[in-house]
Structure 1
């Protein structure tokens, strides 16, 4: 049942980015009452700044359970695209993804990649025909996967949030959570608007998931990612993934990103960071030299000490849960995380989430 403004909902979510929104929708669809508290003037502070490459990263190949979960997450995201776009408008663009791999990476993972069937190796004329306008270094090996996807985080989140509100979710913007207190069989959420009672709380605040009186428990920290949005008449018909990436945006612009910087909460672009990105872009796609930078953007990814999201009960707490630390794949895996978290929260079935994502496993504490 929907929660009224004065009632105590079944679940209170702290953070209204894409991870929180997908979980709110899943919980609401299960019949639970849900309240979302988000501190921004608009939802999704970091979601709105994400570049949007929504493809499982090969950096996780050595963890097959987690990598396979990301591949399943891609199917869940595809289903979201098919379900939400007809009603709420386009927020995706599908393009092949071309991965530029070092020879050492191919030697280490080539057999695994061949077994997974995630693309075709290209070289010579076939590579040139597939990548018009790109100037690719011959020292790399190239794997073309037809199943690439770009997601506009702002538009995706808007669709999911509107779906939540239509389902009766009590979604509140401009509410800053200062502390979460577990007191026996209930939880108190101390906010800028006063103290709200809660039955169970899920922290879905991304890079801001630490603190709230629980600083010792979450282990989630910010990582800055800088990117540039370029307006150009040049056509980019694939997503290029190399040291950085070059990708077509949903609005026909070209996105180049992204840095990975441990700079705390310093959420601004730098001359050095943007300079590296633009040099990369114009080197691999010389036609971009005449492009117009229409946006220079920096966002804060939430990263954990394990390099995996944390999704489950917070160690030492009975009624406080965590769903954060999705690093650069929040848009890709938010729906899969929401489904797994909802199954655990409502039915105590946590099997859909990889064990490496369990906070008790990652942070210590009772299992």
Structure 2
């Protein structure tokens, strides 16, 4: 039984159903994937993790698994991705810090100021920044990706329950019980895949918290030819609009858009691409990322529980790493093979670093 039907839960449900397991998904919303549907969709490992090679390589592996999903799902379920180069603007100090780690960015190359007009036509970029161009940029529409995976879950016999809020999880000899707004559900094991809502009454010990991200979708006169990443980012959407995002705010569970957030995003967009001053804002969107202090998801058994697990805390890389997380969790749950998941992502390590973690999963 999975608690939460976002992209991580859906991918895990599909993986588990593929092993022959009986799988039920309980999701609190009237539609699946509350945060997944609000995601901006930049599916590229963030350079903020270059200083942590194990995590960065894991995210790169996640991208490879996402690419497999695109090839597997899009022919049948329609396009949910758009590939474009990504141009990153770095401060000089950051460029120097990353210089010795660029082996992790095999296809990226530095772009000189004299080449920027050809690489990024119509953009007004600060000369004091350093620019790194990677041909492997990718945007993913979270709602469409989730719909494709959900269709595969339905075909595999996954039992999906919307508008079913889980209020408590308890364990008993031989089984676990989810008390919900629609009665009780019983299962051999439970995996909490509820994103930013994975802590609280479900698992109070989990260090997962909400991080608000606001974004604006613009309808421009012309297509943006690349993904531009700086303080925020500009990126082409799957439907042809331009996505400007996204803030990173500690606002609790408040999903409101704010005037200050929208103003910052629009100022960034028009400063980087003056031609966007005439674009029409056609959508305002805010969602809650499931964040952890270290930036790594929590994947494994919850400490002090024997039948309750978690797959949450993916922050801004949920779309990027959902399939990889699901495969690692499925291998652990079905075959007790947890080695596909980095040890640092174990919930016990996150809660009690330095302790003997033998058998924590």
TM over 0.5: yes
Partner in structure 2 of residue 341 of structure 1: 329
Partner in structure 2 of residue 184 of structure 1: 173
Secondary structure in 2 aligned to 1:259? coil
8 Å Cα contact 2:232/2:265 also seen in 1? yes
Partner in structure 2 of residue 231 of structure 1: 219
Q: How does 1:1-367 map to 2 (within 5 A)?
A: 12-114=1-103, 116-215=105-204, 217-364=205-352, 366=357, 367=360
Length-normalised TM-score, structure 1? 0.95
8 Å Cα contact 1:100/1:142 also seen in 2? yes
The CA deviation at 1:274 is: 0.6
CA separation in 2, counterparts of 1:262 and 1:184? Answer: 39
8 Å Cα contact 1:181/1:213 also seen in 2? no
Secondary structure in 1 aligned to 2:322? helix
Residue by residue over 1:280-324, the C-alpha shift from the partner in whole angstroms, topping out at 9 and shown as x without a partner, is 000000010000000111000001132210000000111100000
Residue by residue over 1:242-266, the C-alpha shift from the partner in whole angstroms, topping out at 9 and shown as x without a partner, is 0000000000000000000001001
CA separation in 2, counterparts of 1:179 and 1:211? Answer: 10
CA separation in 1, counterparts of 2:174 and 2:304? Answer: 14
Q: CA RMSD in A?
A: 1.1
Length-normalised TM-score, structure 2? 0.96
8 Å Cα contact 1:182/1:319 also seen in 2? yes
Partner in structure 2 of residue 7 of structure 1: none
8 Å Cα contact 1:313/1:321 also seen in 2? yes
CA separation in 1, counterparts of 2:161 and 2:238? Answer: 28
Q: Which runs of 5+ in 2 are unaligned?
A: none
8 Å Cα contact 2:17/2:153 also seen in 1? yes
8 Å Cα contact 1:19/1:323 also seen in 2? yes
Aligned residue pairs total 355
Q: Which runs of 5+ in 1 are unaligned?
A: 1-11
Secondary structure in 2 aligned to 1:22? helix
Secondary structure in 2 aligned to 1:240? strand
CA separation in 1, counterparts of 2:161 and 2:151? Answer: 13
The CA deviation at 1:184 is: 2.4
Secondary structure in 1 aligned to 2:60? helix
The CA deviation at 1:115 is: 5.8
The CA deviation at 1:213 is: 4.5
CA separation in 1, counterparts of 2:165 and 2:202? Answer: 13
Residue by residue over 1:308-347, the C-alpha shift from the partner in whole angstroms, topping out at 9 and shown as x without a partner, is 1000000011110000000000000000000110011101
CA separation in 2, counterparts of 1:109 and 1:346? Answer: 39
8 Å Cα contact 2:109/2:132 also seen in 1? yes
